[in-house]
Every structure is written in structure tokens, then in C-alpha cells.
Amino acid sequence: MLYGSIMEKTGLLEALLSKMDPLVKSTGGLVTAVVLTCTLLLMATASQTLAIVVGGRMYIGEFKKKNLLPQTLSRTLEDSGTIISPLVPWSLCGAYMAGTLGVSTMSYLPFTMFCWLCPVLAIVYGFTGKFFWKTGEKSSQKVYQLSTLMEAS
């Protein structure tokens, strides 16, 4: 978590996000960017928690600009940062699964359809706009807090 905080305070997250500007113009591109970022962070850090927190902090402003409910960002982070974790052999989840099952990650990879299909469906839904609700379209108790927006901008 300290590493994620350092990345945020030094402006590294903003620099990375600015490089992805062409990709995040549409909702589908934004979802693709979140999935790719979380996957790369998971592979680089072996921590699903860090992938979710850093990915969330990095893209919350973009989701707000597109007027998307915060739940859509949360779901997208889970679709990538958490679900893919068992597929990364050196992550905590991947090592635990391989140790518990007694087989290598590559051995059980073909049988983890949920793990590799979920991020693909998230991207497809992002491009089709299905299940990506804008603020006010669905009744929601969750809204962007002013302090969250101030920090994200």
C-alpha cells in the first residue's frame, strides 16, 4: 500500500493515465484500460489489493467524468484485479491455489473459465454499454463524495 501511495503522491499515476488518454475516450476503452492496468499491476506486484487500490485511484476521476456510477468502477476492478489473481503463478492467490491443489497454475488454467472470461465480458459490456449505468439511471445509495472527487482531480 505504501508503494501505491508513493506512486500517487509522486504523480506517477497521473503520468500513466495521461499516456492512456487516447484509450479512455469511450466507456469501452476506459474499461479496457482498467482491466489492462489491473492485470499489469497484479503481475508486477503480485498483490491483488495493490492492483485494485492503485487502479481505482487512477481511474476514479475518469469514471466520474463519464458520469458512471462508482459501482461500475468497483465491478470492473473486481473483474480484473481479483478474478485474474489465481492465474498469476507468483501472486499470493496463484501460489495458494497451486499449493492447495497440488498442481501448477498452467495445469488448472484451462479449467478456470470464469477467471479469464470475466475480464473479457467486462470489456465487451464496456463497449456495448450494457450494465454500465450513468448517475441517475439507477437508484443508488452510492455516490461520489466531494472529498473523493477533490483527491481524484
How do residues 12-29 score in pLDDT, each as one tens digit? 767 776 777 677 788 899
Share of the chain above pLDDT 90, in %: 37
Average predicted confidence (pLDDT) for the chain: 82
Asked whether the whole model's pTM tops 0.85, one would answer: no
| Mean pLDDT value across residues 99-107 | 91
**Neighbouring residues of 149: CB distance < 8 A, sequence distance ≥ 6:** 61, 64
* Cα–Cα dist 143/69, whole Å: 7
Return the ∠ at Cα 149 (arms to 21 and 135), rounded to 5°: 85
25-29, 50-54, 102-106, 146-150: segment of lowest average pLDDT: 146-150
Q: Give CA–CA dist 152/48, Å, rounded.
A: 21
Residue 65: pLDDT band with limits 50, 70, 90: confident
- What's the domain count of the chain? 1
- What is the domain range of residue 24? 2-152
pLDDT reported for residue 55: 85
